A = this chain, B = another copy of it.
C-alpha cells in the first residue's frame, strides 16, 4: 500500500543526499535472529562464564566451578547458564549430583561469520 511520495530529484536530476545502494542488506528475520544470539553474549556475567568455561580443561565446567569466581548468587548463575544454553552456546550435561556445561564448538564462529558477511564491505 506504500504510496510513492515525492521521489525528490529523481525526475529533475537534482542533487540528493543519498548514496546509491551497492549490495543487499540483511533481512528483517536474519537481523532478529542475529540480535537474539548477540543479546545472549552481551552481558558481562555471561561473558565471564563463557570465558571461565573456555579456560577449563576440555572447555567443560560444573556450576560449582563458576559461582564463586563470578561473585553472583547461585540462582543468578544458573539463570545465565540457561540463557547461554538456549542461545546454543553451551550444552548441559548432568553427571550425578553435578551439572557440567560445555562450550559448543564453532558456535562463536557462526555468529562472527554472520556479522562479517552482513556488516562489512565486500573489498
A residues neighboring B (CB under 8 Å): 17-26, 28, 31-32, 34-35, 38-39, 41-48, 50-52, 54-62, 64-65, 69, 95, 97-98, 100, 103, 108, 111-112, 115-116, 118-121
Contact = CB atoms under 8 A, between A and B. Distances in A.
Copies of this chain, tallied across the complex = 2
Given A28-B44, A50-B118, 10 more contacts: A17-B98, A19-B61, A20-B57, A28-B48, A31-B48, A32-B44, A35-B47, A38-B41, A50-B119, A112-B116
A119 to B, nearest CB: 5
A16 B54 CA distance: 19
Contacts of A56: 19-22
A25 B52 contact: yes
A55 B112 CA distance: 18
A56 to B, nearest CB: 5
A51 B31 CA distance: 9
A55 to B, nearest CB: 4
Contacts of A51: 25-26, 31, 118-119
Contacts of A95: 17
A62 B17 contact: yes
Contacts of A119: 47, 50-51, 54, 103, 108
